[in-house]
Copies of this chain bind each other. A is one copy, B any other.
Amino acid sequence: WAGVSFLLVPVERCHMTDLINTEKDLVVSLKDYIKAEESKLEQIKKWAEKLDQLTDTATKDPEGFLGHPVNAFKLMKRLNTEWGELESLVLKDMSDGFISNMTIQRQFFPNDEDQTGAAKALLRLQDTYNLDTDTLSRGNLPGVKHKSFLTAEDCFELGKIAYTEADYYHTELWMEQALKQLECRLARSLTCMCVYPEHQRANGNMKYFEYIMAKEKEANKSSTDSEE
């Protein structure tokens, strides 16, 4: 397995170590954004809860409520000034720091070409060590630390790249793998199995693949990138 490291030239390796630090830095500023957004939302929720109670009381007995002149004054004050302040808070942008960090770091990001390069390196590795897609997508490479999985989308990406290289052998292998993982995920996420349509095995049938992909995305909207 010593050969694996030779798939990337030393300069690339060094650059990639920088990318790891870049990503770490982005995570830090993303967490700052989350904290700021949560505290903003907390303030808004406090106001909403207070006003929810208040308007509940007021709408149930408007005459009685307005009969208290302090309530009348406070209603005027809320609508004339306080709701406007609340609106400013809602409109307050907490993402500035994170977004400008993204903008700065983006210039060092890998591009499509780099992504394709890394995918091709994986396909070469597959051939060199004669690995099947299942083993590779489970990250089962003996002797390698920090095991990592390929999601259905990753497998689809590999198939697509093989396809643009007119490498139909790998295209079929990886599209099959992507489909298999999607089906597993779909079966897990669908509670009612009866809505699962009868399907023919889709040997390289892109249309069907895209259909099932969209369906899966619908059913699984909440998880941004759940691992297979």
Contacts and interface: CB of A to CB of B under 8 A. Distances in A.
A19 interface: yes
Interface string A11-49: 001001101111110110011011001100111111110
A156 B145 CA distance: 66
Indicate the size class of the contact surface on chain A.
Answer: 35 or more
A90 B99 contact: yes
B122 A69 contact: yes
B76 A115 contact: yes
A4 interface: yes
Contacts of A30: 44, 47-48, 51, 86, 90
A110 B148 CA distance: 60
B52 A27 contact: yes
A203 to B, nearest CB: 25
A184 interface: no
Contact of A71 (B33, B74, B86, B146): B146
Given A27-B48, A41-B38, A58-B23, A145 B64 contact: yes
A202 interface: no
A24 B68 CA distance: 19
Contacts of A37: 37, 41
Interface of A: 4-5, 7-8, 13, 16-17, 19-24, 26-27, 30-31, 33-34, 37-38, 41-48, 50-52, 55, 57-59, 61-83, 86-87, 90-91, 95, 98-99, 102, 109-112, 114-115, 117-119, 121-122, 125, 136, 139, 141, 144-150, 154, 157, 222-225
19 contacts: A4-B69, A20-B75, A22-B79, A23-B51, A23-B75, A27-B52, A27-B55, A30-B47, A30-B86, A31-B52, A37-B37, A37-B41, A41-B41, A68-B145, A70-B122, A70-B150, A81-B115, A83-B109, A87-B99
